[in-house]
Amino acid sequence: MATDEIKPIFDFDNIGLADIQNEADKQISQTSTSIEKLVQSCKVDLTKDLPPPPIAMKIKHFDREITLFSKGNFSIVTGKAKSRKSFLISMLMATAIKGSFQNQFFCPTNGMNVLFDTEQAEHKVLQVSKRICRLAEIEHPENFISYHLRTLDPLERLEVIEHVLSTTPNLNFVAIDGIVDLDIDPILQAEQAQNIISKLMKWTEIYNIHIVCVLHYNKTVATLLGHLGSFAHRKADCIIEVEKDTESENISFVKAVDCREMEFLPFAFSIDEFGMPNIESEMVLTKSKATPKTESKPKKKVLTPCEVEPNFHAKILIEAFKVNKEQTYSDLWKTLKLAVESICNEKLGDNKAKEFLTYYQQEQKIIKIEVKSNSKSKLLYTLNEPKEIEFT
């Protein structure tokens, strides 16, 4: 039986070495031209006057609004499983649809808002989508659409997202609930993780949108999952954590982990009997628990040298030097700290104790002297006039 003849890449009988060299030179030239075009497209034009990226969303911070998200970037919402990350996404999406949400979030731009869910079944995605509509107080908003991608393969999910983004006019705000499902294993495979992050950076810049993504914490430690989490943390505009209260099952906390813009004030939200999230404006986050807002007690004023009565200064100096008449800097400020606490009955920090030492030097009550010992010299501190310690 005849076998297929293997044909050489070049037919040396009909093509000379010069032709081969010319073809190679041609390919090199084409590659060089392609690279040059790419280089020029990346070159920063210093004559341009580019405005800052548009604000995608604002958040209340004390009594004013600050930037939460900017367009051309992506952010990560994270936390442990069942911490109610999807509820925060619902509030953010409702803000984009309506323009504001419960005087906490504000969206200054208009356009189409899209939710992609890679984790949940169609019934649950429909439930979440209807919740978003109720939060936006619009039954069928024309500027909102959602997609359930759970049944697709990872690469198909990427293709669907890319197609929707490229064909949807006037995009405004996008959420992807579950970016870990956009490839087979971006947790352990660095190349896959890098591919997802590159897609996010490309999409946000090309379509001038902000994409907020959900990515879980590790089960054992509060860090973003694997390679994907590592790349995401470095490139994200903002990392936001959602944490369920350990004391009240109905409360979740939201706080900024890492933001390029100003970090917002942590806040809490609850879930009502209808399964709807509500901002708890009367609760503030302190460490890991929510407490009702109360009038803050005025901080106790720290004692300063100028506030000490003159006769107390004399007693402090006598107390400080009653054992050792000459002391090193390190020994003296520690001795002064104890002396102030003893005479004035006031606790003193290390820096404040050093402030007292500086004050006494300026008042020339304490001076530095050079003491020689075994052909070596060192600086010590002592009283300038031990017999007559007076402060006016």
Q: Could you tell me what percent of the chain has a pLDDT over 70?
A: 85
Q: For residue 177, is pLDDT > 80? A: yes
Cα 225 from chain centre: 16
pLDDT digits (tens, 9 = 90+) for 246-258: 888 889 999 999 9
Domains in the chain, please, with CATH? 55-292 (3.40.50.300), 305-383 (1.10.10)
Rounded CA separation 147/68 (Å): 25
What is the residue whose two structure tokens read 């919402």? 77
CA atoms within 13 A on the CB side of 327: 18
**What pLDDT shows up at residue 32?**
75
CA distance 340 to 357: 11
Q: What is the per-residue pLDDT across 83-107, written as a single tens digit (0 to 9) for each?
A: 999 999 999 999 999 999 999 999 9
Question: How do beta strands 210-214 and 73-78 pair?
Answer: parallel
**Closest residue by Cα to residue 136 from 177, 111, 112, 102:** 102
CA angle 377, 378, 380 (to 5 degrees): 140
Which of 376, 337, 341 shows the shortest CA–CA distance to 356? Answer: 337
Whether 226 contacts 187, CB under 8 Å: yes
> What is the reported pLDDT for 17?
67
306 touches 362 (CB < 8 A): no
> What's the pLDDT tens digit per position in 329-383?
889 989 999 988 888 888 888 888 888 888 888 888 889 888 877 777 788 889 8
Which of 362, 370, 364 minimizes the C-alpha distance to 384?
Answer: 364
Measuring CA to CA, how many Å separate 85 from each of 65, 155, 294, 340?
A: 22, 24, 28, 52
Binning pLDDT at 50, 70 and 90, where does residue 230 land?
A: very high
- What average pLDDT is seen over the chain? 86
Bigger pLDDT: 7 vs 170: 170
pLDDT in tens, 25-60: 677 767 778 888 888 888 988 888 878 889 999 999
pLDDT of 186 > 80? The answer is yes
Q: How many CA atoms lie within 13 A of 208 on its CB side?
A: 9
125, 129, 134, 140 alpha-carbon torsion, rounded to 10°: -140
Higher pLDDT, 260 or 289: 260
Q: What is the pLDDT of residues 99-150, one digit of tens each?
A: 999 999 999 999 999 999 999 999 999 999 999 999 999 999 999 999 999 9
